[in-house]
Amino acid sequence: MKKIRWGIISTGKIAHVFAEALKYADNSELVAIGSRNINTAKQFSQEFNVPHYYSSYEELVKDNDVDVVYIGTPHNLHCENTLMALENNKHVLCEKPFGVNGKEVRKMIAKAKEKNLFLMEALWSRFLPNIIKTKELLEAGEIGKVRLLTAYFAFKSHQGLEHRQFNMDLCGGSLLDIGIYNVFYSLFMLGKPVDFKAAAGLGVTGSDNSCSITFKYSGDTLAVTHSSFMADTPIIAEIHGETGKIFLEDKYFCPGNIKIIRYTGKEVFIPIEIKGNGYNYEADEVVKCIQDGKIQSDKMSWDNSLELIDMLDAIRKECGIIYPKHDD
Ligand SMILES: NC(=O)c1ccc[n+]([C@@H]2O[C@H](COP(=O)([O-])OP(=O)(O)OC[C@H]3O[C@@H](n4cnc5c(N)ncnc54)[C@H](OP(=O)(O)O)[C@@H]3O)[C@@H](O)[C@H]2O)c1
């Protein structure tokens, strides 16, 4: 089968991780890299043996050898970069958060529909075997009715205020950067909550340094989560049911093993095999969808992304997290 040819926009941390992942992805080849800086692009092209390199994102999306563009820029650019790639007839895989608010995500989806091109949010955890297995275990009733989900993602950041973690021009803050995994995990495992309460600790730039959210489900089930750049806490997720709990080890949103601890005292360890660095699974989904002529994934659908961003918007509103250049 013909290989799908990838181009990458940006040469930062995640662009490197994704380029590495493509070595393990099905029917994929990395053919182009675009950066704001020609030297950085050249260096990246040498590191990953990429035939074409460009000093702008515009040149990359005009490359006729590129089928699909992966976007790894800061949050504020996701919508703009996606629209530009779609306008130039490229399929798109865009890093999380898809856009910084529902309005942006709806624009991106409308453009993909208009151009009849594939578009997906790069929420890599959705495609990891441990996360998929956890969902299957829940559905099989392994721990009975779920009573409480906890998901924590926090670390002490040593970045300056200009960095994308804190810079509001780049739509920084813990919620969109790392808390998004907690929100995704709660929605994926338990569905849409009936209510929620959230609070954020805002720093000097106005970004949420820490954010805690409690989701309420029907009956007495809760999901309790926190994200923070101010504290090193374990990055773990647990789902407590009536007969036991499912535990995902540190860092829960990455590839890893699963432990079921029953209230009888019995522990079941479920080892999970992994291919590549884990980001290759989302790339496999993109390739399969494009080869099947689909414009969205059933696994991370446009509705899934809309549910996620609408929830993030509602949480930001409750916490007073505002992106002055993006929110109206
Ligand atoms: N899925 C995951 O596990 C994961 C992990 C980390 C990050 N992410 C996501 O990936 C995106 C990038 O994160 P990252 O950690 O890779 O960030 P990063 O290391 O700061 O890289 C961001 C890149 O974006 C480009 N860029 C364009 N305008 C920029 C600006 N004004 N300031 C800084 N960089 C700019 C730069 O590439 P050029 O100079 O080459 O143009 C830069 O190297 C974010 O959306 C983040 O949420 C996802």
Say how far apart CA 255 and CA 276 lie, in whole Å.
10
Say how far apart CA 171 and CA 153 lie, in whole Å.
18
Q: Ligand 1, residues 124, 153, 155, 164: which to mutate, most atoms within 8 A of Cβ?
A: 164
Say how far apart CA 50 and CA 300 lie, in whole Å.
28
Are 251 and 244 a contacting pair, CB within 8 Å? no
List ligand 1's pocket residues with C-beta within 6 A: 10-14, 35-37, 40, 72-75, 77, 95-96, 122, 124, 164, 170, 177
34 lies in the same domain as 119: yes
Are 177 and 321 a contacting pair, CB within 8 Å? no
- Measured at the CA of 250, the angle between CA 258 and CA 245, to 5 degrees, comes to 40
Q: Is residue 303 part of a domain?
A: no
CA of 249 to the centre of ligand 1 (A): 26
Q: Is residue 60 part of a domain?
A: yes
Cα dist from 60 to 26, 63, 90, whole Å: 22, 5, 10
Three-state DSSP at 245 gives strand
Give me the number of domains the chain comprises: 2
Say how far apart CA 298 and CA 3 lie, in whole Å.
22
Are 168 and 205 a contacting pair, CB within 8 Å? yes
State the CATH number of the domain containing residue 57: 3.40.50.720
228 lies in the same domain as 191: yes
Domain membership of residue 83 as a residue range: 4-123+278-295
Reading the chain (328 residues) residue by residue, the pLDDT tens digits are 789 999 999 999 999 999 999 999 999 999 999 999 999 999 999 999 999 999 999 999 999 999 999 999 999 999 999 999 999 999 999 999 999 999 999 999 999 999 999 999 999 999 999 999 999 999 999 999 999 999 999 999 999 999 999 999 999 999 999 999 999 999 999 999 999 999 999 999 999 999 999 999 999 999 999 999 999 999 999 999 999 999 999 999 999 999 999 999 999 999 999 999 999 999 999 999 999 999 999 999 999 999 999 999 999 999 999 999 998 7
Say how far apart CA 94 and CA 224 lie, in whole Å.
28
193 lies in the same domain as 286: no
225 lies in the same domain as 290: no
218 lies in the same domain as 249: yes
175 lies in the same domain as 117: no
